Structure 1
């Protein structure tokens, strides 16, 4: 990852305050899944077109997330079954700044996402302090929610010079399943999310196409669950698990099996 840090130093910085000026009124979100070598090439191509968010001298920020669900994992099951209208509840900690939020993300039948959040007190996983917020914005009762999957990663955030496009790049993904105690590391994987105004040209989109990096859905919660719990439903997730295999273990002609991913913690 030293090569990535070196390339990031070539980007002009953008502060957190300036990031507040980014306005995406007709936003579209697209995810991409790739590997570190292709990320290196993407960053080399993007230096002249984008600025990188910098906080306290850091340009590659550590994040911590804890996903909450019911004991029978109803939110995970709704996603795995392909239900379009669904919800996620998570604690997100921005470790470089020490700020944290309890977030509720709703996706409707048209694929639009609405996120509501309230400031949280650090990385504590006690849901009780947020009971009123959860009752106001979720169909799940606070006392029905327990920690299910913890997730850590590093995030690079790029913004184009016109402040109308944002690119988040996540690396070093690690998962820990709270009930099973199982962990999983996807160190070589890169998750990219392109957030842009739907009516504007996207330099990053053109770069991704040029590098033959296709769009692909990737839910950190659902993939983390599938990789760390042998009992979790995974029928709809199998194509994603096979994709991970092709990217991380190309020497295996049929991709990485679930068991192999599960055991390579």
Structure 2
């Protein structure tokens, strides 16, 4: 089954919800799952009309591109690989089908929750950090994680993908469904396998209806990060903890752009 076709059908069949009606979840517990298109279809049937689909204008599926920043020795990648209790990721995210560009700082704290902080970035290039951006990163790291900002930070790689967002109509939870991932770094490109969907369940406690439904179907969470997978694939960096997902999710071999 084609994952994009399945998700297009899921999005078309769900009741729409407008962006302004989607509850904020800047602090949440994230659980990620890698599923086939057929499992995605089963999950959608299980969820029924409990979930609405995000709609902006006439669109229900959106293209994203993200540029990730790190130090020359890949400090943030290494901290994720080592599963440091306090760590962060920094990226610009551009919503290609509307929504502009944001600079996003994702923090992982000692409690295991994910906190996202962001500022508008429409007037700055996606691959550069302005003085205002560096001040924002520095202040947030000190305030939230008691960390000093490492440096210098520069662009490392970018990812492109398509997303459908499902929103729980009964509570503060949502499910993002990503397909068509392509990782770019220098002259190299690595695509994801076309029949897979990367799901991310976002909720206050990590036990949303989606998580329970997937457990009932025998699907377990995976440890995965688009950025870390891309670094491992594009730069041949050690990634033992992500190796099973890397082999399953991304196409083998590197392609020149």
Same fold (TM over 0.5): yes
What's the offset of the Cα at 1:112?
2.2
Which residue is 1:257 aligned to?
none
User: Is the counterpart of residue 167 in structure 1 residue 175 in structure 2?
Assistant: yes
Report the 3-state secondary structure (helix = DSSP H, G, I; strand = E; otherwise coil) of the residue aligned with 2:195.
Answer: strand
Which residue is 1:16 aligned to?
19
1:28 and 1:145 mapped to 2: Cα distance? 27
TM-score, normalization by structure 2? 0.85
1:224 and 1:171 mapped to 2: Cα distance? 15
- Answer whether contact 1:24 1:164 (CA < 8 A) is retained: yes
1:61 and 1:88 mapped to 2: Cα distance? 22
2:215 and 2:86 mapped to 1: Cα distance? 30
Which residue is 1:254 aligned to?
none
List aligned pairs for 1:146-157, cutoff 5 A: 146-157=154-165
- Compute the RMSD of aligned alpha carbons: 2.5
Which residue is 2:67 aligned to?
66
1:87 and 1:26 mapped to 2: Cα distance? 14
List aligned pairs for 1:37-48, cutoff 5 A: 37-48=38-49
What's the offset of the Cα at 1:88?
0.8
Which residue is 1:253 aligned to?
none
Cα deviation code 1:187-233 (max 9, x no counterpart): 3331111122439x743223212332211121111001111112x12
List aligned pairs for 1:29-108, cutoff 5 A: 29-108=30-109
2:81 and 2:189 mapped to 1: Cα distance? 20
Cα deviation code 1:18-66 (max 9, x no counterpart): 11xx266994321111122221222233232111000011111111101
Unpaired segments ≥5 residues, structure 1: 249-259
Report the 3-state secondary structure (helix = DSSP H, G, I; strand = E; otherwise coil) of the residue aligned with 1:207.
Answer: helix
Deviates more, 1:203-212 or 1:69-78: 203-212
Which residue is 1:134 aligned to?
137
1:84 and 1:25 mapped to 2: Cα distance? 19
- Answer whether contact 2:6 2:40 (CA < 8 A) is retained: no
Report the 3-state secondary structure (helix = DSSP H, G, I; strand = E; otherwise coil) of the residue aligned with 2:79.
Answer: helix
TM-score, normalization by structure 1? 0.82
List aligned pairs for 1:105-120, cutoff 5 A: 105-120=106-121
1:27 and 1:71 mapped to 2: Cα distance? 30
- Answer whether contact 1:223 1:237 (CA < 8 A) is retained: yes
Which residue is 1:256 aligned to?
none
Which residue is 1:211 aligned to?
217
Which runs of at least 4 in structure 1 moved beyond 4 Å after TM superposition?
A: 23-27
Unpaired segments ≥5 residues, structure 2: 142-147
